[in-house]
């Protein structure tokens, strides 16, 4: 099938596996697939604002090179020739890397992040860098210096954050896969809001080298795609040890696709009573309960579990994460790279004005909170206490996993809310991560899969949480559900 008798829509509707099969069989070329996505981005991207940078020229050059290497038998990886997008906090050699901030508006990275290198080695084709909340701080993509990303299901609503650009791009089929980052829910929540599949692996499963840091003890890379199978194919490439990241695990990496078709009969599902209490939207709760019943119909058993300290997760997170951010973001001072204020009077003036002019309001708020929590008179009362409670939250999960295999529940308390609805109420915004933050604090793997729609047509995602390094089981469970349902294949009408 040539490009002339295949529409770009037909190619961009295919899964990663189907694209790989079509490329290797000669049904179509990498160049044709790449051109189809670039044409779609050019035509539809203005309606979403999902990309900060589109790397058209380098994508076409890569496509030609990879076509030649595939024909020569040099590239056989399932991601060879597959287009992808990166959240704009992954350093990419020669490409603008902004972290969604004015302070990095002119930063051209001189090197590649670990995951960027792995995807290049596999033969992936970079389409561009996705819009995001500034320095990954946000739950709605409204803190980006490049404007809010719009939800492809309803442009009046947010796509979620901070990986909202990648989630919206996958949902609108402007990329088959996007790498996001998850600190307190920033892959899972936008995946839920945009009706796609996203997974946050166990902390340390994927190297953070070359990933612009927000909170180093929480940040984790993960893929967002249409299906669990596509996420599994991606994890096979990017997971594993990297000596440049001291927190990266040496745990062996399984083939995440090998167990996708295992039966789920006998699966023990834990449902936390705290996740179905006050704060959860009734319609969202009903949709999640129906999805859990579908697993019961396949032979799974359901048991209520107790996470007694989960209500403390949000306040704990908003001490620890800002504290780490205040340290990590001290490097952005106008001296070495990025934005610099005009005509500073002295070094102190350079620091103050560069940071005041370069950082957005949400980033300033979190730096201030974090610096306060780490200050001499308050370290023990706030930061140290938060770390102690973090351990209690982790212990709750350890206890729960003695009786169940996975934990299921809502990903967010609501479907996507309207743009501007919570921007002036930081606490209401922070509570959007009520169900994802405990998982991040514990360092556990978690994922979101689409399980239905509200009456107003907004997607709802269910969160599945596993024990440490049990990503293969999560992907298996999600894949089995996706064999029986079509929620994940549905597309927003405007982009169908």
Active site members = 87, 162, 186
**What's the CA gap between 412 and 164, in Å, rounded?**
14
Phi, psi of 181 (to 5 degrees): -135, 150
Q: Cβ contacts of residue 346 below 8 Å, gap of 6+? A: none
Is residue 38 within 8 A of residue 54, CB to CB? The reply is: yes
Beta carbons within 10 angstroms of residue 266's beta carbon: 10
Q: Give me Rg for the CA atoms of the chain.
A: 21
**H helix intervals, 196-250:** 228-238
Inter-CA distances, 187 with 37, 84, 200, Å: 22, 16, 7
SS3 134: helix
Inter-CA distances, 195 with 135, 157, 283, 488, Å: 24, 13, 16, 7
Identify the residue whose tokens are 């509707």: 13
Is residue 309 within 8 A of residue 439, CB to CB? The reply is: no
């Amino acid at each position: 099938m040539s490009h002339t008798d295949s529409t770009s829509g037909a190619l961009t509707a295919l899964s990663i596996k189907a694209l790989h099969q079509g490329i290797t069989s000669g049904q179509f070329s990498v160049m044709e697939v790449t051109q189809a996505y670039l044409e779609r981005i050019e035509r539809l991207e203005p309606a979403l604002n999902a990309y900060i940078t589109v790397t058209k020229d380098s994508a076409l050059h890569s496509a030609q090179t990879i076509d030649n290497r595939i024909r020569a038998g040099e590239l056989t990886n399932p991601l060879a020739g597959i287009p992808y997008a990166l959240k704009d906090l992954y350093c990419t050699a020669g490409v603008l890397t902004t972290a969604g901030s004015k302070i990095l508006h002119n930063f051209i990275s001189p090197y590649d992040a670990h995951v960027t290198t792995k995807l290049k080695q596999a033969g992936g084709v970079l389409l561009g860098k996705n819009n995001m909340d500034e320095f990954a701080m946000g739950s709605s993509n409204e803190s980006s210096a490049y404007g809010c990303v719009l939800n492809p299901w309803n442009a009046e609503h947010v796509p979620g954050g901070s990986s909202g650009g990648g989630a919206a791009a996958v949902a609108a089929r402007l990329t088959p896969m996007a790498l996001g980052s998850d600190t307190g829910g920033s892959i899972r929540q936008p995946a839920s809001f945009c009706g796609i599949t996203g997974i946050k692996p166990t902390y340390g499963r994927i190297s953070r080298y070359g990933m612009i840091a927000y909170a180093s003890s929480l940040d984790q890379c993960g893929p967002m795609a249409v299906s669990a199978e596509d996420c599994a194919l991606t994890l096979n490439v990017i997971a594993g040890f990297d000596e440049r990241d001291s927190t990266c695990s040496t745990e062996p990496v399984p083939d995440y696709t090998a167990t996708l078709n295992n039966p789920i009969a006998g699966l023990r599902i834990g449902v936390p009573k705290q996740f179905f209490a006050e704060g959860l939207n009734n319609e969202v709760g009903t949709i999640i309960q129906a999805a859990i019943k579908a697993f019961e119909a396949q032979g799974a058993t359901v048991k209520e579990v107790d996470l007694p300290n989960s209500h403390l997760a949000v306040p704990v997170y908003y001490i620890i994460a800002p504290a780490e951010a205040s340290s990590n973001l001290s490097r952005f001072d106008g001296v070495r790279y990025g934005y610099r204020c005009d005509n500073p009077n002295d070094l102190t003036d350079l620091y103050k004005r560069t940071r005041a002019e370069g950082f957005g309001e949400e980033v300033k708020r979190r730096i201030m909170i974090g610096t306060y929590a780490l200050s001499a008179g308050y370290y023990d009362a706030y930061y140290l206490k938060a770390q102690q409670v973090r351990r209690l939250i982790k212990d709750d999960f350890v206890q729960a996993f003695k009786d169940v295999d996975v934990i299921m529940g809502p990903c967010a308390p609501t479907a996507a809310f309207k743009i501007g609805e919570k921007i002036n109420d930081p606490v209401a915004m922070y509570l959007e991560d009520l169900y994802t933050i405990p998982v991040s604090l514990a360092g556990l793997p978690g994922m979101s899969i689409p399980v239905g729609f509200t009456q107003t047509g907004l997607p709802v995602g269910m969160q599945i949480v596993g024990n440490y390094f049990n990503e293969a089981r999560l992907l298996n469970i999600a894949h089995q559900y996706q064999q029986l349902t079509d929620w994940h294949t549905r597309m927003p009408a405007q982009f169908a």
